[in-house]
């Protein structure tokens, strides 16, 4: 999907499309004030933002823990520890075919699973048990095909969104996602199998982001049946042939991803052609155990 830089007044009248029981869990509301998208257009969005009929391809890989730590904006944010000095990086590739009040768009969430100021950085378990309150995902890069959603993401959540081309397609039993930055660099490609063991996910997670001097915590939820492929032997087995499922090209974002020293062999794949999801405003009751006063903003290309 090519980038869309067009911002039109008003919201799409599509609330009738969100009739699945999943969406009935959430009480829609507006933010404290409309969001100014430019000098002429402001919009009073409904939250949480609802997403219907979403295709989702996820690749999870092991990377160097110290390199992952270096991407986090504070030393008290810790990558979830994996054996052998490793951490995890996740690439979640979305086709948002129905969005409440908004035109469809594509997006890639590049995240590091983290613990926030943990007393003990418990290895592995936060990824398996949904009981660690300080667990969540920190977004370090988020290409998106919509300028409107880049502005929303940056102004409301401080998400590092960049408007780019994101092509997502199916060839046989493989979903391929490619990201091309504004300079034309084909810097990211991910191939995810569309078949695997079927598993129903009904998940609520924390997403962490930095907005100015604050760490924000926001709730993201999704519900759908995924085809799952797990390669848990990567926890104790090093090396092996490169299966060619993940590649990085030229440009600053390709360099950033290579710096993580990501293992080319996958740890887990998930794919669904259609799920439901939502993403809420930052939690107003969340009190982070630190702030970023005196720390410079992360520099993005």
Q: What is the pTM of this model?
A: 0.94
Helix (H, G, I), strand (E, B) or coil at 252: helix
301 confidence band (pLDDT: 50, 70, 90): very low
* Structure tokens, 179: 């990201």
Closest CA to 237 of 61, 66, 83: 83
**Pairwise CA distance, residues 25 & 197, whole Å:** 28
Record the tokens describing residue 61, joined without a space.
């890989």
Q: Which of 258, 248, 298, 300 is nearest to 72 (CA)?
A: 298
Task: Please give the average per-residue pLDDT across 126-150, as a whole number.
Answer: 88
Q: What is the pLDDT of residues 36-94, one digit of tens each?
A: 999 999 999 999 999 999 999 999 999 999 999 999 999 999 999 999 999 999 999 99
The end-to-end CA distance of the chain, in Å, is 21
Q: What is the pLDDT of residue 298?
A: 53
pLDDT tens digits, one per residue of 229-277: 999 999 888 889 999 999 999 999 999 999 999 999 999 999 999 999 9
Separation between Cα atoms, residue 173 and residue 192, nearest integer Å: 9
- 129: pLDDT strictly greater than 70: no
C-beta separation of 110 from 59 below 8 A:
no
Length of the chain as a residue count? 301
Residues 26-34: contacts with CB under 8 Å, at least 24 apart: 26/50, 26/278, 26/280, 28/100, 31/156, 31/281
The token pair at 237 is: 């087995």
- How far, in Å, CA of 247 to CA of 188, rounded? 6
User: Where do we find the tokens 């300028």?
Assistant: 147
pLDDT of residue 128: 66
- Which residue from 154, 151, 158, 156 is spatially nearest to 39, judged by alpha carbons? 151
Answer whether 292's CB lies under 8 Å from 214's CB: yes
- Are 23 and 15 in contact by the 8 Å Cβ rule? The answer is no
Among 263, 272, 92, which residue's Cα sits nearest to residue 197? Answer: 272
Alpha-carbon distance of 205 to 133, in angstroms, equals: 10
Helices and strands per DSSP (H, E), number in the chain: 3, 17
Span 18-280 CATH architecture: Beta Barrel (2.40)
Quote the pLDDT of residue 300: 44
Nearest Cα to Cα of residue 26 among 285, 286, 283, 277: 277
Q: What is the DSSP letter of 4?
A: B
Q: How many CB atoms lie under 10 A from the CB of residue 254?
A: 18
Res 296: pLDDT: 64
Asked whether the beta carbons of 201 and 222 are under 8 A apart, the reply is: yes
47 forms beta bridges with 29
């Amino acid at each position: 999907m090519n980038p869309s830089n067009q911002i039109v007044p008003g919201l799409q009248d599509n609330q009738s499309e969100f009739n699945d029981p999943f969406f009935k869990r959430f009480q829609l509301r507006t933010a404290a004030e409309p969001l100014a998208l430019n000098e002429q257009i402001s919009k009073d969005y409904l939250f949480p933002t609802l997403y219907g009929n979403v295709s989702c391809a996820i690749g999870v890989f092991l990377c160097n823990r110290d390199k992952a730590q270096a991407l986090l904006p504070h030393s008290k944010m810790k990558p979830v520890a994996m054996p052998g000095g490793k951490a995890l990086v996740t690439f979640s590739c979305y086709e948002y075919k129905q969005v409440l009040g908004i035109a469809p768009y594509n997006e890639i969430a590049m995240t590091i699973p983290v613990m926030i100021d943990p007393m003990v950085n418990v290895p592995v378990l936060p990824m398996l048990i949904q009981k660690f309150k300080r667990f969540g995902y920190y977004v370090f890069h988020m290409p998106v095909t919509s300028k409107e959603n880049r502005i929303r993401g940056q102004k409301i959540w401080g998400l590092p969104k960049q408007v780019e081309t994101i092509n997502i397609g199916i060839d046989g039993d493989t979903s391929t996602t490619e990201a091309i930055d504004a300079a034309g660099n084909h810097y990211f490609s991910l191939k995810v199998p569309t078949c695997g063991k079927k598993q129903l996910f009904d998940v609520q997670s924390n997403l962490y982001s930095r907005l100015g001097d604050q760490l924000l915590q926001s709730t993201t939820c999704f519900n759908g049946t995924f085809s799952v492929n797990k390669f848990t032997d990567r926890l104790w087995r090093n090396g092996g042939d490169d299966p060619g499922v993940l590649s990085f090209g030229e440009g600053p974002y390709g360099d950033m991803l290579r710096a993580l020293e990501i293992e080319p062999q996958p740890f887990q794949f998930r794919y669904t052609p259609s799920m439901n999801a939502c993403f809420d405003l930052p939690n107003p009751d969340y009190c982070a155990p630190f702030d970023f006063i005196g720390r410079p903003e992360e520099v993005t290309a």
